[in-house]
Amino acid sequence: MANDWILDVLADLKTYAQKNGLSALAEQLEDTMLIAATEIASTEGKAPSAALSDAGTTGHVY
């Protein structure tokens, strides 16, 4: 779990964007969090569903 810190950074950026009226950026960061969690999980041998549960608050899944 050495790369989990990036999910915290992305969550902080998303919170900042939401609080400052940057809704498009906040939505993009939600997607970015999902991608990051999936990639981190794949490099650590986890299933993609575990990546989503580790991502914290997630956005829309398309």
Residue ranges per structural domain of the chain? 5-54
Nearest partner of 56 among 33, 26, 39, 35, judged by Cα: 33
Which residue type does 52 have?
Answer: L
What global pTM score does this model have?
Answer: 0.68
pLDDT, averaged per 10 consecutive residues of the chain (62 residues), comes to 88 97 97 95 69 54 44
CB count in 10 Å sphere of residue 35: 12
Nearest partner of 7 among 27, 30, 36, judged by Cα: 36
Q: What is the pLDDT of residue 44?
A: 77
Q: What is the pLDDT of residue 57?
A: 56
